[in-house]
Amino acid sequence: MDTSWYRLLIPASELAFDSFAKTRVWQEIAQALLRKYVERYYTFRKREWELPHLEYRDLTEDDPNFPSILSEDGAEYGYRILIEESQQEIVAKLKELKEAIEQGNLKDWEFRGLKAIWFGRHLYQPLLFLDGSVVEISPAPLNKGERRFIEDLKAFHDANPGYFAERELYLLRNLSKGRGVGFFEAGNFHPDFIIWQLEGKRQRVTFVDPKGIRNVGLQDPKISFYETVKEIEKRLGQPDVVLESFIVSNTPSHEMSKLWGITKDEMQKKHILFQEEDRDSYIRILLETTS
């Protein structure tokens, strides 16, 4: 039986017993491995405890996955945006955006790298994208891959009314640790988005994570989560609810084929789709695939 739990890639010269100065490197390696082991052991035990307690719950308007800030009057829906006092032009533009939201004037808005994205199927609006560091936003704004996913999903929704005549689509950006939906089975994985498709009494829930995967191993729990989520579906035992998961990669498939040694078709079978090269097809695949 193979009892190994890690593979160390390091030049042989770094492990040679020829210099006391190398002890610092060896100590860092040992500490990193111990941290990884403790994390795995904790995850295993937490999963063991959680299994009997998992259940489906309705999403309510006070769910912590909706962005909120704390004020003297308690929690209030919204974003917190921190700006230097000297940036009065940005302050004025943000006040214009706030007024437009309050008036229901939901139109495209963009200023100095900050963009408000409107998509009526998302459970709250707007989503904010930030390219740069002129302001600080909490909860964290969309990154480029997440923004592209929202735009691609919106384009597909608007271009295919026939497809959505038979099903309802809902989307929610999943917040990070402590607020969003996470899975200890996959190394405390918090997928970036949750998609619901309602077809009569049947509900398909798809977890989507747009990301670069160049530094992610083929055996990483995030990559195999498409299998893990089916195990969760089976345990929960509700036949009208189907769970799926996809990685939407902004790393090209030819790079991953070299790194992983598998074909693009094999990656798609693992629910890995490619955002750039398959822009015209990956949303439909993601919405229609049922494993």
Helix, coil or strand: residue 152: helix
50-54, 128-132, 140-144, 222-226: which range is least confident on average?
Answer: 50-54
The answer on pLDDT for 30 being more than 50 is yes
pLDDT attached to residue 133: 78
Domain coordinates of the chain in residue numbers? 9-42, 60-142, 143-291
What average pLDDT does the chain have? 88
- pLDDT tens across 105-150, in order? 878 888 888 899 999 999 998 999 998 877 888 888 999 999 999 9
The answer on pLDDT for 206 being more than 90 is yes
Tell me the two tokens of residue 25: 């490197």
The answer on pLDDT for 8 being more than 90 is no
The answer on pLDDT for 46 being more than 80 is no
- Contact present, 282 and 249 (Cβ < 8 Å): no
Q: Which of 137-146, 233-242, 254-263 has the highest mean pLDDT?
A: 254-263
C-alpha span between 286 and 206 (Å, rounded): 8
Average pLDDT (196-209) is: 95
Q: Which of 71-85, 163-177, 243-257 has the highest mean pLDDT?
A: 243-257
The answer on pLDDT for 48 being more than 90 is no
C-alpha span between 67 and 65 (Å, rounded): 6
pTM summary value: 0.81
Confidence of residue 1 (pLDDT cuts 50, 70, 90): very low
Average pLDDT (63-71) is: 77
The answer on pLDDT for 47 being more than 90 is no
- Structure-token match 């002890």, residue found: 23
Q: Which of 180, 290, 188, 187 is nearest to 244 (CA)?
A: 290
Confidence of residue 4 (pLDDT cuts 50, 70, 90): low
Confidence of residue 184 (pLDDT cuts 50, 70, 90): low
Ramachandran region of residue 44, left (φ > 0), alpha (ψ -120 to 50) or beta? alpha
- Contact present, 212 and 251 (Cβ < 8 Å): yes
Confidence of residue 211 (pLDDT cuts 50, 70, 90): very high
Tell me the two tokens of residue 149: 């996913």
The answer on pLDDT for 74 being more than 70 is no
User: Would you mind telling me the total number of residues written for the chain in this entry?
Assistant: 291
Average pLDDT (235-263) is: 95
Average pLDDT (217-239) is: 91
AA identity, residue 196: W
